[in-house]
Structure 1
Amino acid sequence: MSTALKSRLEAAGSALRERDVDGTTLLLAACFVPMLAFFVVVWVIPIVYALGMSLFASPVRSPEFVGLGNYAELLGNGAFWGFLWNSVVYAVATTGLSLVIGLGLALVINQRIRGGDALRTLMIFPYLLPTLVVIFMWKFILDPNIGILNQFLVDAGLIDKPIAFFSTLEFAMPAVVVTSVWKFASFAFFILLARLQAIDPDLYERARVEGATTWQAFRDITFPHLRGAILIILLVRGIWMFNKFDIIYLSTRGGPLQQTTTLPIRVYQLAFSEVNFGMATALAGVMFFLLAGVAVVYFRAFAPEKEVA
C-alpha cells in the first residue's frame, strides 16, 4: 500500500471518528437539556420555594418577613433537640438492626441450606405489605388485652401484668423500632445476598486450602466485598428512616408525651395542627441541611463508589 493511500485512509478514519464524537455529543446534549429542566422543576424550585417560605412568619395567610427568625426560635427551643434525638435514635436503631438481621440471614441462606429458597421468598412479603396492615398486625401482637406476646410473657412468668407497648414511655420507641425493622430488614437482606452470590467461590476454596478459619474467611474475603453495599445501605436506609413518618404516626401519633415525636412528625404537627407553616418549613429546612451535611461527610469519609466491585 502506497504512503499516499495510507494517509488518505487514516484521514478518512479520523473524520469518521470525529463525526461519531460530534453525534454522541449532540445526543448527550439533547438528553441533558430535558433532564436539567426536569431536575429544576421537580427538585430545585420546590426546595427554593420551601426555604423561602421558612423566612416568613405566616407565609400563607399574611406573609411577614422575619429572615432567620424562625430558625433562631426553633434552635433555641429545647424541645427541638429532644425531637432531633428521637429521630437519631429511631434512624440508628432501625438501620443498625435491619443491617445486622439482613446480613445474618443473607449469610445463612447463601450457604444453600435446606429451605433457603422458601425463606428467601418469604423475606419479600414484609416489604410488600402496606404500612397500615403492618401497623394493625403489630398492634394486635403487642395489644395488652389480646396480644399474643403479652400472653406468652405473662404465662412464662416474665412479667406480672400485660404491657401496653405502644402507650408506655419505656416501650413506645422500642415497639416502633421493632415494627419498622420487621418491615424493612428485607431491604438489606436482598442487597447483601445478591452481593454475596457475586463473590467468586474459588476465593473461599483457596482460603480453606491455606488453612483459614471461618472468621478469617469472612474478615478477609466476605466483608471487603460487602463493605460497599453495607455503606450504601447505611446511607440510604439511614436517611429514609430519619425522614420516616407513616409508621410512627399510625402507631403512636408521636406519643406518649412526645416520646416518639421525631422531626417529620413535628413538621406535620406544626403545619397541620398548629397551622404554623413558617416554623414547619423552617424545621423542614433544618432537616434538609442536616441530611445534606451528613451525606457530604459520608461520601468524603467512605467513598463507597471506590469499593471492590
Structure 2
Amino acid sequence: MSAVSTLQGRLGEFDEKRLLLLAMFVPFTLFFVLVWGVPIGYALGMSLFSDPTGAAEFAFLGNYVDVLTSELFGTALWNSIVYALSSTVLSLVLGLGLALVVNRKIKGGNALRTMMIFPYLLPTLVVIFMWTFLLDPNVGAVNQFLLDYGVIQEPLAFFSSTTWAMPAAIVASVWKYGSFAFFILLARLQAIDPNLYERARVEGASTWQAFRDITIPNLRGAILIIILVRGIWMFNKFDIIYLATRGGPLDATTTLPIMVYELAFLGSPDFGGATALAGIMFLLLAAVAVVYFWAFKPEQEVTT
C-alpha cells in the first residue's frame, strides 16, 4: 500500500507541475498568436491579392514577382542595407567611444551622460529641421566651416545631392540614435569587475591588450544585441529619410519602407504590391534573425 501511495503522490505532483506549466505557457502562447501571429498572417495573406482594400482578385505570387522585377527594388534594397548598416555601425562606434570615456569617471562625465539622452528625446521632425539648417548650402554652419578651412571650394547642398543625401541622412540618424548604443554599452562596462583590469596591469598588459582581452569579450553580447536590434530598426526606418529627402534626389535615398509608401499612396495606388513588399521585408529580416541566432548563439551570453 505504501508503494501505491508513493506512486500516486508522485503522479499527483507531476500533474500539478504540468498544470502549472500549462497555466504559464498557454496564456503567453495565446498572447503571442493574437498580438503577433494574427497580424503577420493577415498581412501576408493580403499580399496575395491584387487589391486587398477593394474588390480583391487572387494574384497568388504575382505581386511578389512584380515587386522583385521592378527597376526600383534593387536600388531601394541597396539603399536600405547601406542606411541600416552604416547608421548601426557608426552608432556603435560612437556609443562605444563615449561610453569608454564616461566610464573612466572623468570630470564632466555626468554632464555628458545627461546630454546623450537629449537627441533621443527630441522629435524626429525637430532633428530634421536642425540638420537641414546646419547643412544648408547658404546659411548652414557645416558648409561655412568647410569653406573657411578650404575643405570645399563651393557650398554643398547635402540633402539635394545624389552623392551626399544618403551620408547626410546617416549622420542625422547617428546623432539621434547613437545614445541607444551608448547607454547599453556603458551599463555593461560598469558591470565589468575592476579587479580584472588591476590583474592585467600587474601582469604587464598594455591598455590595448586589456581592452582587447577584457573589455571586448565582456561587451560581445551587448554589441551583438545592438547590431541586431538597431540594424532591424534602421532597416525599417521611414521618418528620417522621408522628412529629409522624400527618397530623392533621383531615388538616391529611396529605401524599402519609402518604396512601400510610394506604392500604397502615391500615383496609382498599388496596395497589393505594397503589402507584398512589406512581406518581402519581413521575410528578409526574419532570415537575418535566424542566421544571427544560429551563428552567434546569444543565449550562451546569458548563461555565461
TM over 0.5: yes
Matched with 2:269 is 275
Partner secondary structure for residue 58 of structure 1: coil
Matched with 1:35 is 28
TM-score, length of structure 1 as denominator length: 0.91
Matched with 1:94 is 87
The one-letter code sitting in structure 1 at the alignment partner of 2:93 is V
- Contact residue 254 and residue 265 of structure 1 kept, 8 A: yes
Q: Does 1:176 align with 2:176?
A: no
Q: Does 1:67 align with 2:60?
A: yes
1:4-83 matches, within 5 Å, as 25-83=18-76
Runs of 4+ in 1 over 6 A off after TM superposition: 17-21
Deviation at 1:21, TM superposition (A): 6.7
Matched with 2:107 is 114
Partner secondary structure for residue 251 of structure 2: coil
Identity %: 69
Give the count of matched residue pairs. Answer: 300
- Contact residue 228 and residue 305 of structure 1 kept, 8 A: no
Matched with 1:255 is 248
Partner secondary structure for residue 150 of structure 2: coil
The one-letter code sitting in structure 2 at the alignment partner of 1:64 is E
The one-letter code sitting in structure 2 at the alignment partner of 1:304 is P
Partner secondary structure for residue 290 of structure 1: helix
The one-letter code sitting in structure 2 at the alignment partner of 1:236 is V
| Structure-2 change in CA distance of 1:225 and 1:155 (3 Å) | same
CA RMSD of aligned residues (A): 2.1
Extract unaligned runs of 5+ from structure 1.
1-6
Matched with 2:154 is 161
Deviations 1:188-227 (A, max 9, x none): 0110111011010111111111101111111111111001
Q: Does 1:303 align with 2:300?
A: no
Q: Does 1:229 align with 2:222?
A: yes
Alpha-carbon distance between aligned partners in 2 of 1:104 and 1:196, rounded to the nearest angstrom: 12
Partner secondary structure for residue 216 of structure 2: helix
Alpha-carbon distance between aligned partners in 1 of 2:196 and 2:31, rounded to the nearest angstrom: 45
User: Considering only CA atoms, is the larger Rg found in Structure 1 or Structure 2?
Assistant: 1
TM-score, length of structure 2 as denominator length: 0.93
Extract unaligned runs of 5+ from structure 2.
none
Alpha-carbon distance between aligned partners in 1 of 2:239 and 2:20, rounded to the nearest angstrom: 42
Deviation at 1:244, TM superposition (A): 0.4
Alpha-carbon distance between aligned partners in 2 of 1:70 and 1:24, rounded to the nearest angstrom: 49
Partner secondary structure for residue 193 of structure 1: helix
| Structure-2 change in CA distance of 1:21 and 1:134 (3 Å) | farther
| Structure-2 change in CA distance of 1:18 and 1:104 (3 Å) | farther
